[in-house]
Structure 1
Amino acid sequence: MIGSLFSWIADPAHWSGSDGILNRLLEHLWYSVLAMVLALVIALPLGLYIGHTGRLRWLVTATNAARAVPTLGLLFAFALWLGPSLRGDLAFLVPATIVLVLLAVPPLLAGTYAGVEAVDPAARDAARGVGMTGWQVLRQVELPCALPLVMSGVRTAALQVVATATIAALIGLGGLGRLLVDGIAFGDYPQAAAGALLVAVLAVLLEGLLALLQRRLVSPGLGGGRGAVGGSRNDDDAAAAEANARMPVGPGGMAGGNS
């Protein structure tokens, strides 16, 4: 099976054309990037606002609780609801994008909120003491200090979106999930295994790129620039633990929502 898998991937005929690996990879990246951009537009400003003002904290708990809803069920629900009112590829692209955005928003919102909320109050007081406005405090003090947790949320959301974007193929879209669905449907198991392997490799590469980006953006004094890329997992685990600890307490006394 392993030999058949790599033989299938190495076959040049499987890399060209509309059904080729390259085109499916580009489609997968398009779905993922579109969802991440929309999720960042929604979650980043909202998380900064909640962390800066302390208002609407219940939204962080609510969005995390929404993660318990099955993604596949949401996909079919939105496809059946929105599909008949849309035309062409939008009938499939819009439902898939909505589901991926809903998947990406909770970690982005929680990381951004926790990062801003965790800023030392003394730093805020000092900034206001030198005459900074609320916007200046947010932009020049809180956001730079919050970057480790913000980037932790970005990395978590990006990996979840890339891995889950395969379900777009179940409602007629492309992407690497098409290799999985078609491979299983036609009994071409090397193709299905190749699709799974390519998604895993893409996720690993994305994690490495985001780790490098985090090292460039985060000040070394905040813990985001120490060590090699492969050795930054302790910092990420600590950031994730701090984000979870600072999330609002929901019903039952548990922090945040379901993970």
Structure 2
Amino acid sequence: MSLLSFLLDPANWPGGGKIIDLLLQHLWYTAAAVLLGAVIAIPVGILIGHTGRGSFLVIGTSNAARAIPTLGLLVLVVVLLGTGVEKIVPVLAVLALPAILTATAAGIGGADREAVHAARAIGMTEGQIVAQVEWPLALPLVVSGLRSATLQVVATATVAAFAAGGGLGQLLISGQRNNDYPQMFAGAVLIAGMAIVLDLLLGGVGWLIGRNTRARRAAAEAVRNQAVSPTNRSEAVT
């Protein structure tokens, strides 16, 4: 039997819990977990990066998340609370937190200090500095953190099936149980394909944002250089 037989069988693609349903379920788990992680991590990362305080939280969160046994935590949640999206997604969101939090804090904290000082000098509030100066400069790095978090959640969402959570991991479990290698192969290919597609999409978004940010920096630098050029100084003196 060909390893592609499960993927190429038209009967496996319509509804009824087949490939399309499992694919959409896996994508939903991923999107919801990354979104939940971003809602928590981005504000905290902005606060840490802007104030320069609480860096230990970034390090501690990253180390703690890496040490958590995902499958064990999922099984524990299912045993205590039962199955369902609302039970699985928060566990997967824990994995998305470190990459987003670290990238946001680093991006905000690494924003051009001269631009920040200039913004304060013209009377901008701290909120305006974050929104109009630091956040636009940090955005490419934040997208990079979202990209890393998405890839990690896509891969780890596979184990949600072991906790009766569904998703493409069901193909791996069902295939292993029935010694159906084409089904297992289909699950592995689809998970890898989803990860590649999402990585390319987020990489493209990051490239566009980075290009726009570089253009802004170049324009600001040109204006700054023109303002301090010898010609302008002599005209100001005259």
With structure 2 as the length reference, what TM-score do the two structures score?
0.85
Separation (CA, whole Å) in 2 of partners of 1:117 and 1:222: 18
Amino acid in the other structure paired with 1:75: L
**Equivalent residue in structure 2 for 1:183, among 172, 175, 179:** 175
Contact kept? 1:100, 1:164, Cα under 8 Å: yes
Deviation at residue 49 of structure 1 after TM alignment: 0.9
Q: Which residue matches 2:75?
A: 76
Q: Which residue matches 2:166?
A: 174
Q: Which residue matches 2:189?
A: 197
Q: Which residue matches 1:19?
A: 17
Contact kept? 1:159, 1:203, Cα under 8 Å: yes
Q: Percent identity?
A: 49
Name the SS for the 2:166 alignment partner: coil
Separation (CA, whole Å) in 2 of partners of 1:131 and 1:218: 28
Name the SS for the 2:120 alignment partner: helix
**Long gaps (5+) in structure 2:** 216-238
Contact kept? 1:169, 1:178, Cα under 8 Å: yes
Separation (CA, whole Å) in 2 of partners of 1:221 and 1:26: 33
Write out the 4+ residue segments of structure 1 that deviate beyond 3 Å after TM superposition.
219-223
Deviation at residue 57 of structure 1 after TM alignment: 1.9
Deviations 1:48-107 (A, max 9, x none): 111011222221011111112221111122222323xxxxxxx33333212210000000
**Equivalent residue in structure 2 for 1:116, among 96, 100, 108:** 108
Matched, 1:160 2:158: no
1:1-259 maps to which residues of 2 (within 5 A)?
Answer: 4-66=2-64, 67-83=66-82, 91-222=83-214
Contact kept? 1:148, 1:222, Cα under 8 Å: no
User: More helix per residue: 1 or 2?
Assistant: 2
Check 1:65–1:121 CA distance in 2 against 1; reply closer, same or farther (3 A cut): same
Rg larger for: 2
Separation (CA, whole Å) in 2 of partners of 1:58 and 1:80: 33
Aligned CA-pair RMSD: 1.5
With structure 1 as the length reference, what TM-score do the two structures score?
0.79
Separation (CA, whole Å) in 2 of partners of 1:180 and 1:222: 44
Separation (CA, whole Å) in 2 of partners of 1:30 and 1:212: 21
Contact kept? 1:144, 1:218, Cα under 8 Å: no
